[in-house]
Amino acid sequence: MRIQRFLRRLFGPNRWVPLAARPDAKAALYLQYLAFKDLISSNDEILQVIADMEQVLDGTTTFGMAFIRSRCVTAASHTYRMIQTLNTLSDRRYSELFLRFADIRRSVENILDRARPKLKGPLVLPLGSLSLAQLDLVGGKSANLGEMKSRAGLPVPEGFAVTTDACLELLEANQLGDEIRARLLGLDANDMESASAVSQSIRSLILGAALPPRIGGSLREGFSALESILGRPLRVAVRSSAVGEDGDLSFAGQYVSVLNVTEDALASAYKEVIAGLYTPTAIRYRAIRGIPDEDTPMGVACLAMVEAVASGVACSVDPNHPEAGRMVINGSWGLGLATVEGSVSPDSWTVRKGDDLAFLSLTLGSKETSAEPMAHGGIDTVPVPPRLRKSYCLTGDQARELARLILEVERHYGVPQEVEWALGRDGRFMLLQARPLHLCALGGGQEPAPAQVDGHRLLIEGASACAGFASGPAVLSLSPEDVHDFPLGGVLVARHSHPRYVQVMDRAAAIVTDVGAPTGHMASLSREFGIPAVLDTHGATSTIATGDIVTVDGSRGAVYEGRVDSLLGAKNTAVPRRMAGTPVFGILEEVSRHVVALTLTDPKSAEFRASSCKSFHDIARFVHEKAFEEMFRLSDTVSYGQMRSLPLRARLPFTVHVIDLGGGLLPEAGAREIGIEDVTSVPLKALLAGMTDPALNWWTPRALSVKGFASVTAQALFTPVVEHGERSLGDRSYAIAADAYCNFSSRIGYHFAAVDAYCADSMGGNYISFRFKGGAADEARRVNRCLLIGRVLNRVDFQVECHRDLVNARLRKFGREPTLERLALLGRLIVATRQLDMRLHDTAAVDWFVDAFFKGNYMFDPDFDPASVHEEA
């Protein structure tokens, strides 16, 4: 018979212990109750994943692949568990769901797998053999250098590229891929300290990995070949060349370069550059820009060192005044580190892009320090002699010669370029890097900043690095290490510009520095992120204090006291959707079609069947519905008198059917229907008492605003809504009850409300779990209803989480009476807020509704007399 089959399924070889089994009806009820609870709890987990994904699908929150992977794993495992449980309850009548699940799971896995790179070929290639065509194989920097050398005939040092395959081989040989992905799961994309911890753990993994002999051999061969070309003992610069670097996304200064490397130190320098994929700022940069970690395998460029007298960065177009027909060259003594990192004020030439290459302006930088190669390898920072500080690092002729080279680079690529250069001891220029120049979205003003704007004092001026206006509280920083708690909308006021400040670029409203060049890495990043920036102010950190409200005019390079509304004008203050359009966002959108999308909404439709399920959400929805049917079916077929399904006769705005698992109803209760007086389940009785409280008066029509009614009606065209009538024919709410337990569930269209509660004399096991999702109105009103529900429950000790239109509330370990009081309140709340969507168009009014509820004004009547009822406890 059916119940015995059910028991056999539950106690089969992979199931529960035969010792515990007493194959009688009571045991069956228990097991059914447990299976049902499993199903409900898995359904909750899936709804949580859906809410998480929906929340980040608005594009304003930063997240990474780890977020997507972990949510997919949770959704898949709990969807599978729901299918398993339903089949256990139903004598495997829904085995087709396993097939649908397998299809959907495969689609999700394929999308996630696509992000992983595959091995392709050689490990080392000479720079002269490369062009942009090999970008995927050698990364951005090597491909660009190869392009300039082989195709444009520009002066580029000799060198070789180590391919991205070598990186993959290093990781695979040490089985690091899965381990790194596992550690990345610990990354909170919005938390900078978490990025530091994850970074340290992954980098030490890579640095400790053994270099496979094939890679070690290729590095040595590349080095020897280079030495034979140059005919002298050789030092190389080992530089990052990640896929995606130096393209549309600059990754400026995010990765690692090791300079002046000897042959002996080459292998460890190589690993250091690979480990640089996981510097905290590189992790943050990828997170903020939505780049999957798998999409940026690291190539490495090994270039013969240029013994540089001077070096720097040039922009083929003035980034703040693209229309002005001029370029900007910055430079200082020694190797180029100081200029690109922004640690010195460089010399600067503004050059007209005509035949004469006339200097439009010259600025002598302070150039306090320079980076110099040491005899045994490595770099040292040394003070620049006072005499040299006062002279330009290039002569006029040299600056013009460099300007001509920069123009050639721009001509070759056809778009404005940002170029790193070095002047060798032999007097020849070498180009060390080229990438597309990010230009400011807003055109800059030409005129000098006035001393006051609308009565706001001019605090300080500097070099404009990115045009635009922004205002906010100043946050002083002495180094990139001290910005872990940088507030959203703060204005970064730093001593030096540094590319590691990228970590706050999804939060900062503007950037101001004492020292730094508009051609440096950080300036480039500020333009990439569109953050107004004023650099080289010589004193912002001593003029401005943390907490001061300032307004930054990035166009004129000025910072004003207070908030200057006339400058900010109609500036859009909405939170930017930075993630939208990024590769990671694209993957989430694709995956969410198989996880989040809900197509099965109407259980009465012919399409509501296993074969129609297209997503994990569809399966969960279908299984949830069928689980209740199975509970009814089983209860109908059991004749032990211990389990019954009966309609409840009560004044409620929905029909409730009660399934008694044992001890939930009086044994002598009616055979066709029951009344509340027949309910003996302690928690259900309390919930129903709340739902039928006469003060709710739900049967009286309420005032609706026309706007509200129109909105709900419009939504109803798409969503079958049946909660407006006094009785919702055909749709049932279910209550499953035992003496100390109840599960109440109501699910109509998109709307879902569920109470799961246990209440006995000892408080240890007592709990109430409440979940509400959806509703009939537009999103704003649904969100407001959830806010209202959340705030009410929070006030009576529930732990509440609200995610858009989902409320999760839990209460645990309260005594019997306090638990029952809260169940009654929950009953009143469910009924009282049932139609409220229509009136909740204003978030500011939510607190009024909360107060009204606690005053017993369940009709939310503005003319309510509080003296007429007692207040909620």
At its nearest, how many Å lie between other proteins and the CB of residue 543?
A: 42
- Alpha-carbon distance of 82 to 76, in angstroms, equals 10
- Alpha-carbon distance of 418 to 434, in angstroms, equals 6
At its nearest, how many Å lie between other proteins and the CB of residue 635?
A: 19
CB-based contact 659:638 (threshold 8 Å): no
- Alpha-carbon distance of 800 to 541, in angstroms, equals 42
Q: What letter does residue 148 receive in the DSSP assignment?
A: I
> Strand 510-515 relative to strand 533-535: parallel, antiparallel, unpaired?
parallel
- Alpha-carbon distance of 697 to 611, in angstroms, equals 43
Selecting among 321, 456, 496, 521, the annotated active-site residue is 521
CB-based contact 220:213 (threshold 8 Å): no
For the stretch 270-297, what's the b/e string if a residue is b when 16 or more beta carbons lie within 10 angstroms of its beta carbon? Answer: bbbbbbbbbbbbbbbbbbbbbbbbbbbb
At its nearest, how many Å lie between other proteins and the CB of residue 507?
A: 24
- Range in contact with other proteins (rule: CB under 8 A) among 13-21, 293-301, 771-779, 790-798: 13-21
At its nearest, how many Å lie between other proteins and the CB of residue 597?
A: 18
Q: What letter does residue 402 receive in the DSSP assignment?
A: H
Given 52, 56, 69, 144, the residue binding other proteins (CB under 8 A): 69
If the CB atoms of residues 30 and 848 are measured against other proteins, the closer one turns out to be 30
108 binds other proteins (CB under 8 A): yes
Given 25, 54, 61, 105, the residue binding other proteins (CB under 8 A): 105
x/- contact string, 395-424, with other proteins (CB under 8 A)? ------------------------------
- CA distances from residue 665 to 79, 627, 682, 718 in whole angstroms, order as listed: 32, 21, 10, 39
Given 47, 49, 53, 72, the residue binding other proteins (CB under 8 A): 72
844 binds other proteins (CB under 8 A): no
At its nearest, how many Å lie between other proteins and the CB of residue 92?
A: 14
Q: 661 φ, ψ to 5°?
A: -90, -5
Taking CB under 8 A as the criterion, which residues in 84-103 touch other proteins?
84
Q: 15 φ, ψ to 5°?
A: -110, -145
Paired residues of 493 in beta bridges: 476, 512
At its nearest, how many Å lie between other proteins and the CB of residue 185?
A: 5
Q: What letter does residue 642 receive in the DSSP assignment?
A: S
x/- contact string, 111-130, with other proteins (CB under 8 A)? -x------------------
Given 38, 52, 295, 630, the residue binding other proteins (CB under 8 A): 38
22 binds other proteins (CB under 8 A): yes
- CA distances from residue 271 to 159, 170, 216 in whole angstroms, order as listed: 18, 9, 11
If the CB atoms of residues 14 and 573 are measured against other proteins, the closer one turns out to be 14
| Cα Rg, the chain, nearest whole Å | 34
- Alpha-carbon distance of 412 to 408, in angstroms, equals 6
If the CB atoms of residues 324 and 760 are measured against other proteins, the closer one turns out to be 760
CB-based contact 270:219 (threshold 8 Å): yes
Residues touching other proteins, count (CB under 8 A):
41
At its nearest, how many Å lie between other proteins and the CB of residue 24?
A: 10
- Range in contact with other proteins (rule: CB under 8 A) among 106-114, 237-245, 582-590, 823-831: 106-114
Q: What letter does residue 596 receive in the DSSP assignment?
A: T
362 binds other proteins (CB under 8 A): no
20 binds other proteins (CB under 8 A): yes
640 binds other proteins (CB under 8 A): no
At its nearest, how many Å lie between other proteins and the CB of residue 204?
A: 15
204 binds other proteins (CB under 8 A): no
Task: Give Cβ neighbours of residue 784 (< 8 Å, ≥ 6 apart).
Answer: 840, 841, 842, 843, 846
- Range in contact with other proteins (rule: CB under 8 A) among 67-75, 380-388, 466-474, 778-786: 67-75
74 binds other proteins (CB under 8 A): yes
At its nearest, how many Å lie between other proteins and the CB of residue 695?
A: 35
* 624 part of the active site: no
Instruction: Convert 529-583 into a string of H (helix), E (strand) and C (coil).
Output: HCCCEEECCCCHHHHCCCCCEEEEECCCCEEEECCCHHHHCCCCCCCCCCCCCCH
At its nearest, how many Å lie between other proteins and the CB of residue 142?
A: 32
- Range in contact with other proteins (rule: CB under 8 A) among 12-20, 346-354, 390-398, 542-550: 12-20
814 binds other proteins (CB under 8 A): no
Given 7, 40, 47, 76, the residue binding other proteins (CB under 8 A): 76
Given 41, 131, 174, 612, the residue binding other proteins (CB under 8 A): 41
If the CB atoms of residues 791 and 812 are measured against other proteins, the closer one turns out to be 812
- CA distances from residue 73 to 67, 598, 806 in whole angstroms, order as listed: 10, 19, 21
x/- contact string, 753-772, with other proteins (CB under 8 A)? -----------xx-------
Strands, E assignment, 388-498: 417-424, 429-436, 452-453, 456-461, 463-466, 469-477, 491-496
CA-based nearest residue to 615, from 101, 109, 60, 257: 101
If the CB atoms of residues 72 and 674 are measured against other proteins, the closer one turns out to be 72
Taking CB under 8 A as the criterion, which residues in 167-196 touch other proteins?
178-179, 181-183, 185-186
Tokens of 64: 């990474």
At its nearest, how many Å lie between other proteins and the CB of residue 699?
A: 39
If the CB atoms of residues 105 and 538 are measured against other proteins, the closer one turns out to be 105
Task: State the alpha helices, DSSP H only, in 349-395.
Answer: 386-389
If the CB atoms of residues 84 and 240 are measured against other proteins, the closer one turns out to be 84
Q: 347 φ, ψ to 5°?
A: -70, 150
If the CB atoms of residues 40 and 394 are measured against other proteins, the closer one turns out to be 40
If the CB atoms of residues 538 and 810 are measured against other proteins, the closer one turns out to be 810
596 binds other proteins (CB under 8 A): no
Instruction: Convert 180-232 into a string of H (helix), E (strand) and C (coil).
Output: HHHHHCCCCCCCHHHHHHHHHHHHHHHHCCCCCHHHHHHHHHHHHHHHHHHCC
CB-based contact 513:537 (threshold 8 Å): yes
Q: 394 φ, ψ to 5°?
A: -130, 145
34 binds other proteins (CB under 8 A): yes
CB atoms within 10 A of CB 138: 31
Polymer length in residues for the chain = 873
- Alpha-carbon distance of 85 to 712, in angstroms, equals 36
At its nearest, how many Å lie between other proteins and the CB of residue 697?
A: 38
- Range in contact with other proteins (rule: CB under 8 A) among 15-23, 224-232, 275-283, 819-827: 15-23
- Range in contact with other proteins (rule: CB under 8 A) among 68-76, 487-495, 530-538, 642-650: 68-76
- Alpha-carbon distance of 689 to 70, in angstroms, equals 41
Indicate which residues carry an active-site annotation: 521
- Residues of this chain that interact with other proteins (CB under 8 A) are 14-17, 19-22, 26-27, 30, 33-34, 37-38, 41, 66, 69-70, 72-74, 76-78, 80-81, 84, 105, 108-109, 112, 178-179, 181-183, 185-186, 764-765
